[in-house]
Amino acid sequence: MLLMVKIPYFIQLAGINDLARLAAALEVVPLPVYALRLQNRDVLAVGVSVGLARPLFCYVETGHSGEFIAYRVYMSSEEVNMVDTASNPAYSYAPIIRVKEMPRKMFKGRKEMHAETIVMDDLGSLTKLVLYRYMREEVLTPLFLMKHSVDGKGKGKGKDKQDASSTTIIGMFMSSDEDGAPYFCYTVLDHMPEGNFVKYSSQIGEGPEFTNDIDGHGYIYMKVIRMKDEQ
C-alpha cells in the first residue's frame, strides 16, 4: 500500500515557553513534543491541527534534556521545566518523543507558511471567529502573535532610504473549503501585549482582553503563541 506523505508547513516560535504553552496549556491531554533534526539543527516541534490541508509543525531551535516538558500557570506566571518524571499533579506534562529519522519526503521541498491574508476589523471579531470554530468543531485554535514588517516607500540608498517599520498583528490560520489553501485571519494591535492568553465571553458584555490569569470563570481562554520575528 502506497501512502502519500504531505510536506508539512513549519513555523518557528519565539521561545520554549511558547512551545510549552502550545503543547500543554488548557489541554486535557498535552500534545507530544518531537525532538528531531531539522536542516542539521536540533529542534523541539509540536504538530497542531488548525484545519489546513497540510500538517503544521511549530518548532524552536534548542537542545533538550529530560523526558517531559512540565508546564503550569501559577500566580499568573508561567513555569516551564524539562523533567524526567511526570510526578507532580500541579503540572501538565507534554511528553518528549525522540525521533531518530523522519521520512525524507517530509522535508523535500520544505514548505514555509505562505498564506493569503484576511484582515479583521478588531480583536473582538477575531475572537468570535475562534469561538465559532470551537463551537462547530470543538477545536480551540491558537492565536499567533508576531511583528509584521512594513517597508517604507523609499527604497533608495543613503538619505533616500526609509527605514522599515513594524506593527504587531495577531491572528489564526484556517483553510478554504474548496482547495485547502491557507489563510491567515488577523487584526492589528496598537502595542505588543504581555498576556499569554486572550479571555473572552459571549455572555458578558465585555470585549476580549489579554491576560496571564486563566482562573476566571465564565470565559473562553485562547492561547497566544509568539512567532519568531522575520520568518
Per the CB < 8 A criterion, the answer to whether 198 and 221 are in contact is yes
**pTM, to two decimals:** 0.86
CA distance to 48, 115, 138, per residue, from 109 (Å) = 20, 17, 32
- pLDDT tens-digit map of 149-173: 755 443 434 433 344 567 999 999 9
User: Helix, strand or coil for residue 224?
Assistant: strand
* Helix runs in 45-87, H state only: none
Q: Give yes or no for residue 2 having a pLDDT over 50.
A: no
Q: What does the DSSP assignment read for 135-198?
A: HHHS--PPEEEEEEEE--S-B-SGGGBPPPEEEEEEEEEEE-TTT--EEEEEEEESS----SEE
- pLDDT tens-digit map of 187-203: 999 999 999 999 999 88
Residue 18 has phi, psi (to 5 degrees) of -65, -40
Domain boundaries, the chain: 9-112, 116-226
DSSP 1: -
- pLDDT tens-digit map of 92-108: 999 999 998 877 766 66
